Amino acid sequence: MALYKRFWVQFEVMKMSGPSPRNGNRFSKTPPFLIPGLLVVVVILSFNYWRTSRLNKELLESVAHANNLRQKIGHDLKDSEMRIKEKMAEENDLKTKLTQLGNEFEQHKKTVEEKEKQQRELVDGVQSELDRLKGEIWQCDGVVVTS
């Protein structure tokens, strides 16, 4: 109990004398610039955190947008490549068909030329036969008239 009374008396003396570094209550009186300075630091750090997080969000959104564009462009590129391959195959088919039609045209042209030649020969033959027959008719008419 004596220890308790002695401690109590020391506590009362410290209370009356006010805060001082010697009596154990060291942090009760702070310098006047410390709290406003700390508040300014907290405000600056808060603003920097807010700005950084906002910029980070904007960057993440732009990265997501860029990824979406990249995927769309990749998909469009694949579609374009497929269309190019299809057009090239179609072009090759058309070239093959054109070659075949050209060959058929040449064959038909040769056939027509041969038939035309045959027709000319026939016409020439018929013409010569006709001329010969006309000559015979003229001879027969001349014989009939003179006789």
Map out the domains of the chain as residue ranges: 33-109
Report the C-alpha gap between 39 and 109 in whole angstroms: 101
Q: Are 24 and 14 contacting, i.e. CB atoms less than 8 angstroms apart? A: yes
From first to last of its 147 residues, what are the pLDDT tens digits of the chain? 666 666 666 666 555 555 555 555 555 676 788 889 999 999 999 999 999 999 999 999 999 999 999 999 999 999 999 999 999 999 999 999 999 999 999 999 999 999 999 999 999 999 999 999 988 888 887 765 554
Report the C-alpha gap between 67 and 75 in whole angstroms: 12
Report the C-alpha gap between 104 and 109 in whole angstroms: 8
What pLDDT, on a 0 to 100 scale, did the predictor assign at position 13? 58
What pLDDT, on a 0 to 100 scale, did the predictor assign at position 33? 85
Report the C-alpha gap between 27 and 110 in whole angstroms: 118
What pLDDT, on a 0 to 100 scale, did the predictor assign at position 20? 53
137 sits in which H/E element: helix 34-146
